[in-house]
Structure 1
């Protein structure tokens, strides 16, 4: 017992230290397992910072969603690429907004309600509003119609539509702020008269020179050597020229999972088997929907010029054949893109390309100031009688129409595709495109209310076609995908490090499978050049270390096994990466030193030519400071500068001049002045101002370069 007590007393402090260290290690391990959250007081909610201002994840997620919705509304297909583009757009917009907002606050600049109204309804409205609310014949923008449409939308639209409109307004405000800020900067540009006059004086000079030139290529590369230390020193002195963003590079082997010949044959058989039923069915729309066509059924008539747009994939080589089909005849299957297609001619008829019409509308939307159905019907009947009695369309439209046509005498022009599009009142469209003729009028009831419609004219009538398409894409079977996956897994199992990866890749060359590389992959990227889009693949690359071989990943039409070959941190390029840019510069400089040493002390051109082994003495006459130059001096700015230095007139320049292509020994034989006929100082100042304005037309770029921006998007998206 006393022995145990002695041990306890003797080693008590040591045991306490060991236990404390164990606890510290345990806590540190937990911290790393939780992404360091134990030390940060919880996971960060920020996706980045701009000059210390945090961009919160929740708010940014809303911006991304708004961008996605906007892009989808513009017709972009939903995809991983769209999501990443939305993230990029949202980030750039928010960074620019923060930078500009900071500058605006310093300057006391803002967009008020009156100015916002001017943006929407002024002389220079947004392009989309101008297109929608301009008279198709005169091109005049109808600001009143635009305002009324927007006001109605804000009263009746759902929350999502209003959110989209607010996003639209925010983007317009930011654009106007950029314009104001840019204008402020542009108005500060000044080219003083004395500067233009000095330029004119310089440009009036003309020189005559003689020179001896020794090309750098005449000095063997082996005669000089550029060391790693010299590369490092050069980069250290020119850090701003060698900035780099964080990136990764990979080597990869791709195993194709594209459809095989067997897959193509299976797709062809499936569509051939269905052709008899498609040929005999009287309900092509139901057939297309029931059998899962990759092309949607359209019940509309399209002119020949718009068939490709309407049906997305119609090959031009098949169009004339299909258009010559008899009613209910079927053509195909034929290859169109990556699909086998059957086409069935349902009907054809002559329809106008566009219809010009006018209407008076009595709204039945009582919540928006409309009338009860019975009251609206009585009013429209009275209006019909009044117009037949000679009343003015323009006056009645201005009194009753709740839409933008109240200022256009009720007149509108629609294309045949617009009339048949989803959302266009079908009863209205049926009359003006199919049932009515120019000059005819009719009362038509729609979901908007009662219209009294007059067809004014049919514009460019032409043949229209209604065609049903049934398409089967050629897709890889599960067996094809499994085979590619199995090959990728086997390759990955045999390639656990760089050496075995390269060895395994070498064996595949005989099968036509080559190792490829992808460089400069950014942390927020998703596009791998040559492969396709996969955000998850990029995340896996960034989760790995240099030399790690990744598990097989599906990217596009391939199963890919990649190895991380390079990890570049944000900052200054390492010498190894900068070498290909720096080495040629230093080689030239070292060769220039060799040539200068060979020339020795410069006294005359003849002596320099002799020292260089009998080089010719060349001349350049009528040399201008600005403008065209002889080919031998076209890129030699240092030589040109020395040629127009008045102190060198009549002398041999005592130093060898290190040029772009070689070393020059120069004698300035003469410098004279000529009359400058293009010396309109006012016009020159104006031209230089415009050039400077164009160069500085996007101030956010300069603000970004001066800002401290931390981008953490890769941790979230």
Structure 2
């Protein structure tokens, strides 16, 4: 009976529990059946823009493509800064795409079939079409090539897919241009505005002033009140609108610097290499295998190497070994394999053949030999280059201009500099098979061929272990104590990374900061980050000290930041009282100066549009007041950037009347339209809800 009563009284709770269990079982069933938790999908979202999720797969692919473009554009290997820049570019593009696409739909902006045809083949083709199908010399569109490619796309699925992507990009650019034109055409400048702008840029003022500088009062003597802080905050609220969440962290770096023992060990290693190099039977291979810095095994001109080596090797006989020598953080070793005199520069032309499209290197080489024979029998090299070469120089008859050593790949360089004027040479390089024609050789100087070895002076595992041990010991000691106090006790320097955004790719003093930034955005204020972070040459321990959310920051959050400005504002009040006393009863600026014991400073030919006080600073308030005053009337006080001023205008020089306002209006309209376009896009962004999860992935 007791059990039945218990069940009757608890029936509601049991039912709820059963339903809850059924839901969990259902969800877990999905996990079992798919191998993927129900929340996993949301974990793959890099951000949400106005309700549209951006998947990490799609986003990551675009980031990789952008990084590849950056590497091609700027050269060098990928690095954290390059990746951060790529992530930021792709994110901005995604935001623009979502926000603007919805605005286009709202406004009814579309690209018709006729417009699209015109963008392909019309009188004003899309810049993208011109880029792919334009003549690089004339800039004219090759319409036959466009038509031919479109026809091929009907039979070639891969080409069709490329055209679909191209069409989407062309349509996107065309819509952007339509929207930009809508915004620009909404801008209008009146004749009154044009005349006022013209006057502001050409009207001159001569005046005199007396100043009381803020520097005359020591900061330490000023004690701002809460009311002073509140007044400054209330009057400058726009300054405290934080566009993105930021975090500040303190950190201590434990440098991994090579010790004397490390230097000695690397030095002994290079000395052993020097002994082996003396008896090496293949100098180029030995250098390539043992050097950490690759120097091409080709003839080098003076000035190409580190000065410590360059100044010596050109004076040594062939067979000599120089080094090892320690310079700029690495040991250098060089063997003079050969020396000779060589042209300083060469003028050459070439025909570049692509083995991949011709059926292999052998086929390409045979074709190059055939072309060489044709030229030797009187064939026109330039015409053959235009017909056969796959290089951009074909439109110039294969002409590469004049180049010095180090500008071409070694195979090409050796052929061009080792041959004679008029020679035709067939060589293979990483770019394909070349038929080279040596047009001219200029100058003559000594060049050397070196077997060059360089070993960087790096910290040993033992040195790294010692630095890591210090870092882990410090991390353990600050878990329950004040970060700065423990650092001070141990003689460590505390650095600050201030106001770091979630997507930022750099931080002061840190070469690879992304892991620390990610951890900081997953921590709470005051937390010591849980791991020791490894940089390129240091270990780092950090503590999150401040979080500033997006939006208007409260006064408490910015109080420390605004303290210098508040002190200046208090000084301005103090000096304004002093200036008011001097202005009382004064009929000219000299009387004001006499009361204050300050000099009168004359200023000539100042324009309103350029409010610079010569020898002082940009003083917008003062210059604005001068242009709004009557001649010879004492004005002030004005609290400016560097002090409090009294002033008197002595003369104004008005420009000749603006005869035609059209040009002035046009110039102003262009500037306003450009600003309006940016402002319109910002307004659209402000209206949508954007959730940015990038910090979880990058």
Q: Which of 405, 408, 411 lines up with 2:396 in the alignment? A: 408
Which residues of 2 match residues 604-683 of structure 1 at below 5 A? 604-605=585-586, 615=596, 626=608, 637-638=620-621, 641=624, 645=628, 674=653, 676-677=655-656
Assess, with a 3 A threshold, how the Cα gap between structure 1 residues 681 and 505 changes in structure 2: closer, same or farther.
same
Q: Which of 510, 518, 535 lines up with 1:539 in the alignment? A: 518
Structure 1 position 516 matched with structure 2 position 504: no
Assess, with a 3 A threshold, how the Cα gap between structure 1 residues 374 and 663 changes in structure 2: closer, same or farther.
closer
Structure 1 position 288 matched with structure 2 position 252: no
Which residues of 2 match residues 12-23 of structure 1 at below 5 A? 12=10
Q: What is the match of residue 536 of structure 2?
A: 556
Instruction: Report if aligned partners of 1:362, 1:371 keep a CA contact under 8 Å in 2.
Output: no
Aligned CA-pair RMSD: 5.8
Instruction: Report if aligned partners of 1:497, 1:548 keep a CA contact under 8 Å in 2.
Output: no
Deviations 1:277-305 (A, max 9, x none): 11221201222344x32122523223335
Q: What is the match of residue 409 of structure 2?
A: 421
Assess, with a 3 A threshold, how the Cα gap between structure 1 residues 142 and 652 changes in structure 2: closer, same or farther.
closer
In structure 2, how many angstroms separate the alpha carbons of the residues matched to 1:519 and 1:289?
44
Instruction: Report if aligned partners of 1:189, 1:689 keep a CA contact under 8 Å in 2.
Output: no
Q: Which moved more, 1:635-644 or 1:45-54?
A: 635-644
Q: What is the match of residue 249 of structure 1?
A: 248
Instruction: Report if aligned partners of 2:386, 2:394 keep a CA contact under 8 Å in 1.
Output: yes
Assess, with a 3 A threshold, how the Cα gap between structure 1 residues 56 and 238 changes in structure 2: closer, same or farther.
farther
In structure 1, how many angstroms separate the alpha carbons of the residues matched to 2:233 and 2:39?
36
Q: Which moved more, 1:460-469 or 1:255-264?
A: 460-469
Q: What is the match of residue 90 of structure 1?
A: 90
Q: Which of 305, 326, 345 lines up with 2:336 in the alignment? A: 345
Q: What is the match of residue 113 of structure 1?
A: 120
Assess, with a 3 A threshold, how the Cα gap between structure 1 residues 503 and 356 changes in structure 2: closer, same or farther.
closer
Assess, with a 3 A threshold, how the Cα gap between structure 1 residues 184 and 649 changes in structure 2: closer, same or farther.
same
Q: Which of 308, 328, 332 lines up with 2:319 in the alignment? A: 328
TM-score by length of 1: 0.71
Q: Which of 294, 303, 319 lines up with 2:310 in the alignment? A: 319
In structure 1, how many angstroms separate the alpha carbons of the residues matched to 2:331 and 2:322?
11
In structure 1, how many angstroms separate the alpha carbons of the residues matched to 2:618 and 2:434?
73
Q: What is the match of residue 578 of structure 1?
A: 558
Instruction: Report if aligned partners of 1:416, 1:433 keep a CA contact under 8 Å in 2.
Output: no
Which residues of 2 match residues 201-220 of structure 1 at below 5 A? none
Assess, with a 3 A threshold, how the Cα gap between structure 1 residues 608 and 118 changes in structure 2: closer, same or farther.
closer
TM-score by length of 2: 0.73
Instruction: Report if aligned partners of 2:525, 2:545 keep a CA contact under 8 Å in 1.
Output: yes
Q: Which of 660, 678, 681 lines up with 1:703 in the alignment? A: 681
Assess, with a 3 A threshold, how the Cα gap between structure 1 residues 665 and 431 changes in structure 2: closer, same or farther.
closer
The offset of 1:263, in angstroms, is: 0.9
In structure 1, how many angstroms separate the alpha carbons of the residues matched to 2:527 and 2:40?
32
In structure 2, how many angstroms separate the alpha carbons of the residues matched to 1:72 and 1:399?
32
What secondary structure sits across from 2:525 in the alignment?
A: coil
In structure 1, how many angstroms separate the alpha carbons of the residues matched to 2:389 and 2:588?
95
In structure 1, how many angstroms separate the alpha carbons of the residues matched to 2:64 and 2:120?
26
In structure 2, how many angstroms separate the alpha carbons of the residues matched to 1:699 and 1:536?
36
In structure 1, how many angstroms separate the alpha carbons of the residues matched to 2:390 and 2:623?
72
Q: What is the match of residue 67 of structure 1?
A: 66
Q: Which residues of structure 2 form unaligned runs of 5+? A: 29-35
Assess, with a 3 A threshold, how the Cα gap between structure 1 residues 487 and 400 changes in structure 2: closer, same or farther.
closer
Q: What is the match of residue 272 of structure 1?
A: 271
In structure 1, how many angstroms separate the alpha carbons of the residues matched to 2:696 and 2:394?
53
The offset of 1:549, in angstroms, is: 2.0
Instruction: Report if aligned partners of 1:212, 1:605 keep a CA contact under 8 Å in 2.
Output: no
Deviations 1:349-374 (A, max 9, x none): 33334443456789987869999899
What secondary structure sits across from 1:496 in the alignment?
A: coil
Which residues of 2 match residues 455-604 of structure 1 at below 5 A? 455-499=438-482, 501-509=483-491, 513-550=492-529, 551-580=531-560, 582-583=562-563, 604=585
Q: Which moved more, 1:218-227 or 1:100-109?
A: 218-227
Instruction: Report if aligned partners of 1:547, 1:564 keep a CA contact under 8 Å in 2.
Output: yes
In structure 1, how many angstroms separate the alpha carbons of the residues matched to 2:627 and 2:365?
92
Q: Which residues of structure 1 form unaligned runs of 5+? A: 31-36, 135-139, 308-313
Instruction: Report if aligned partners of 1:249, 1:518 keep a CA contact under 8 Å in 2.
Output: yes
Q: Which moved more, 1:79-88 or 1:481-490?
A: 79-88
Q: What is the match of residue 31 of structure 2?
A: none
The offset of 1:508, in angstroms, is: 0.9
Assess, with a 3 A threshold, how the Cα gap between structure 1 residues 556 and 610 changes in structure 2: closer, same or farther.
same
What secondary structure sits across from 2:521 in the alignment?
A: helix
Equivalent pairs, count: 661
What secondary structure sits across from 2:42 in the alignment?
A: coil
In structure 1, how many angstroms separate the alpha carbons of the residues matched to 2:477 and 2:431?
69
Q: What is the match of residue 715 of structure 1?
A: 696
Assess, with a 3 A threshold, how the Cα gap between structure 1 residues 438 and 194 changes in structure 2: closer, same or farther.
same
What secondary structure sits across from 1:528 in the alignment?
A: coil
What secondary structure sits across from 2:67 in the alignment?
A: helix
The offset of 1:569, in angstroms, is: 1.8
In structure 2, how many angstroms separate the alpha carbons of the residues matched to 1:66 and 1:539?
23
In structure 2, how many angstroms separate the alpha carbons of the residues matched to 1:532 and 1:629?
39
Assess, with a 3 A threshold, how the Cα gap between structure 1 residues 355 and 218 changes in structure 2: closer, same or farther.
closer
In structure 2, how many angstroms separate the alpha carbons of the residues matched to 1:242 and 1:585?
13
Assess, with a 3 A threshold, how the Cα gap between structure 1 residues 580 and 169 changes in structure 2: closer, same or farther.
farther
What secondary structure sits across from 1:43 in the alignment?
A: helix
Assess, with a 3 A threshold, how the Cα gap between structure 1 residues 697 and 258 changes in structure 2: closer, same or farther.
farther
